[in-house]
Amino acid sequence: MLNYDVQSSTSLWDRFPDQMVTAQEMHDSCLRQALHDCYGYEVHTEGDSFTVTFHEASDALKWCAKVQQRLQKLPWPSNLRNTTTPGNTAEGSNHGVNTLTIPLRI
């Protein structure tokens, strides 16, 4: 079983609510398609948080890699692509990298 959540998404929702609706739809579709491709099952969702499960650990690893690759290729709304969030600064954990360059942490 795997728990997934997008880091710092609350601040993005606060700053860009209209664009985040589109981003959430793209995100959820991407994750669900990858689940299908990797023989996974959606157990629970709440916001951008997913709990998923797989029969084989290797399928879970494939899903993580596939989701990471696919999320990076999505046409995110431009103001989200160039946005940093609290904690994603030179002093923070992502060293100033914008949020959608590192779209998830699992």
Q: Are 100 and 81 in contact (CB under 8 A)?
A: yes
Beta bridge partners of 2: 52
Q: CA 49 to CA 9: how far, in whole Å?
A: 10
Q: Are 59 and 39 in contact (CB under 8 A)?
A: yes
Q: What is the pLDDT along the chain (106 residues), one digit of tens a residue?
A: 999 988 888 888 999 999 999 999 999 999 999 999 999 999 999 988 999 999 999 999 999 999 999 999 999 898 887 776 555 444 444 444 444 444 444 4
